[in-house]
Amino acid sequence: MARMNPPFYRSFARLCAASALFVLLSGGVSLVATVSTSGNTQPTSTTVSAPSPSSDQVVKIKGTFEWQKKPGERHNLEGILTRTSSDEWKATWNFTWSNKPETFKGVVHGNPLNGNISGTGCNAKSIYSFEGKATDGVWKFDCFQGKQPQGKGEATIQR
């Protein structure tokens, strides 16, 4: 069996540790990794620490939406947003439609507190999108199915 060069192992181990750290940082998980090598060289060790999740890794939002075919009829909407990157959030949307609970999964792009926001929500039968603006945690948005307007909504980040 051929013996591999110890510096190769050290470089490979550091690359693996850095990759694992990147993946775990993006998910907000705590990590302390130690990489050690031995062989013809002195053992080396590298320790890195990732912060634990901050309070803004998961954001809850509550509001209502109004379907354009039934103006004035408001449907309660609750969302749970989980950060996946600096301006992207995995979203779970819960609401009641025709007296039945519905859950849609999707994504939100943008800062949920201030700025332009957009995203999606879908289940096995339907895909919806929205575009709007967040101001001090208050969202005002328009909903679409494809390019067809479907309604509007307003929601507030729960602090």
3-state secondary structure the chain: CCCCCHHHHHHHHHHHHHHHHHHHHHHCCCEEEEEEECCCCCCEEEEEEECCCCHHHEEEEEEEEEECCCCCCEEEEEEEEEEEECCEEEEEEEEEECCEEEEEEEEEECCCCCEEEEEEEECCCCEEEEEEEEECCEEEEEEEECCEEEEEEEEEEEC
What is the pLDDT, as a whole number, of residue 159?
A: 82
Q: Do both 143 and 85 map to the same domain?
A: yes
Q: Do both 17 and 61 map to the same domain?
A: no
Q: Do both 65 and 123 map to the same domain?
A: yes
For residue range 6-42, list pLDDT tens digits in order.
543 344 334 333 333 333 333 333 223 333 334 444 4
Q: Do both 15 and 70 map to the same domain?
A: no
State mean pLDDT over 132-151: 96
**pTM exceeds 0.75, yes or no:** no
Q: Indicate the range of 38-52, 76-90, 120-134 predicted with least confidence.
A: 38-52
Report the mean per-residue pLDDT for the chain. 75
State mean pLDDT over 75-89: 95
What is the pLDDT, as a whole number, of residue 2?
A: 52
Q: Which domain holds residue 115?
A: 55-158
Q: Do both 31 and 16 map to the same domain?
A: yes
What is the pLDDT, as a whole number, of residue 81?
A: 97
State mean pLDDT over 124-148: 96
